[in-house]
Amino acid sequence: MIAMAILPILIHPDPRLKTVCEPVPDMSDELRTLADDMLLTMYDAPGIGLAAPQIGVLQRVIVMDCVKEEGAEPKPVAMFNPEVTASSDITNVYEEGCLSIPEQYAEVTRPKLVQVRWMDRDGKLQEQEFDGLWATCVQHEIDHLDGKLFIDYLKPLRRQMITRKMQKLKRERARKAL
Q: Catalytic amino acids?
A: 141
Least spacing, CB of residue 49 vs Ni ion, in Å: 6
CA distance 178 to 170: 13
Nearer to Ni ion, 98 or 142 (CB): 98
Near Ni ion by CB under 5 A: residue from 34, 98, 138, 151: 98
* Residue 19 to residues 43, 58, 136, 142, 148, Cα–Cα distance (Å): 24, 7, 21, 12, 8
Residue 151 binds Ni ion (CB under 5 A): no
Residue 52 binds Ni ion (CB under 5 A): no
Nearer to Ni ion, 55 or 119 (CB): 55
**168 Cβ partners below 8 Å, 6+ apart?**
none
Candidate segments 92-100, 106-114, 123-131, 157-165, binder of Ni ion by CB under 5 A? 92-100
Candidate segments 11-19, 26-34, 98-106, 115-123, binder of Ni ion by CB under 5 A? 98-106
Least spacing, CB of residue 60 vs Ni ion, in Å: 15
Which 8-state DSSP code applies to residue 178? -
**78 Cβ partners below 8 Å, 6+ apart?**
35, 38, 39, 61, 62, 63, 120, 121
Interface residues with Ni ion (CB under 5 A)?
Answer: 98
